[in-house]
Amino acid sequence: LLYERHGEPAAVVQLKDLEVPKLGPCDVHVKMLAAPINPADINMIQGTYPLLSPLPAVGGNEGVGEVLEVGRRVTALKAGDWVIPADAGLGTWRTQGVFPEEMLLKVPSDIPVLCAATLSVNPCTAFRMLADFESLAPGDSVIQNAANSGVGQAVIQIARASGIKTINVVRDRPDLPKLVERLMALGADHVVTEEMLRKPEMKDIFKSIPRPRLALNCVGGKSTTEMLWHLQPKGTMVTYGGMAKQPVMVPVSAFIFRDVRLRGFWMTQWRKDHAQDQQSVAAMMDALCQLIRRGQLTAPACTEVPLQDYRAALEASMKPFVSSKQILVL
């Protein structure tokens, strides 16, 4: 799926037949199996993301493929291995591709294909934010908004596996009870709407669990300010998205009297910073694959779409309140 200019995805993305390039000595020929449509993919096509691929570009930053053939200098991969992108910008919305070996990470092929296809962005983001900003122990709690997003669902499950409680904020919607039930089934401890954040009932939650030391923000605007009030003094709020397209507003008193910390996180930057530190990357992937094998981390709710129906998938991925991730099946 190729785009030659930036604009609305359904208008600029086209399905094209291309020749598969020749295999160089350090290259790997990959047959793609499945690739999701993430918000960052949409923003890259629109031209609004901080990282843009040179045009013409193939869409998609995430997915899983099977190695068909390797160049004679390739040592770490062989035919039959499963691989995911080592970094953003690979262009995963295609049936086949030839990539340099260092652009791919091997993943075990004994995990479900949809888990592998959605592994490199959201679960990694969730894992790093839970690990890198506060040293959380079993019994501690975390509060997050956009709890039904791909990252939100991963946070619930990874936290649950570590004995950390989650308070999950979602927008009010017609099918709210159904969403609450789904998040509780994943292991959420509490699910509240944005409106509930400022109600006295919130105090009841903190009778049974401590106030959170960590808040994860993917929305911005009012939702963020409301979450801050529930943070412990000296707690940290990490912003990793801005779905409301509004700034993060912080009352001066939260800084002075409660000394809260505001940080940001971008998985792409983390990968750049750790490009030479393969041990950290391997340890994270290993931990996530272990959770998947134990059934403690599942793929987000997915809708599988054949490649030729890509336009419908692109449009569906941009609708509000859709809790299902569109996955192109290749």
Enumerate the active-site residues: 49
Q: How many CB atoms lie within 10 A of CB 126?
A: 27
Tokens describing residue 208: 């049974």
Tokens of 56: 């013409």
| Contact between 183 and 148 (Cβ < 8 Å) | yes
Q: Which two tokens stand for residue 275?
A: 């490009």
Shortest CA distance to 184 belongs to which of 206, 196, 168, 172? 168
Alpha helices in 189-266 (DSSP H): 202-208, 222-228, 252-258
Spatial contact of 97 and 91, defined as CB atoms under 8 Å apart: yes
With beta carbons less than 8 A apart as the criterion, state whether 107 and 124 touch. Answer: no
CB of 65 closer than 8 Å to CB of 99: no
| CB neighbours of residue 247 within 10 Å | 10
DSSP string, 123-178: HHHHHHHHHHSS---TT-EEEESSTTSHHHHHHHHHHHHTT-EEEEEE---TTHHH
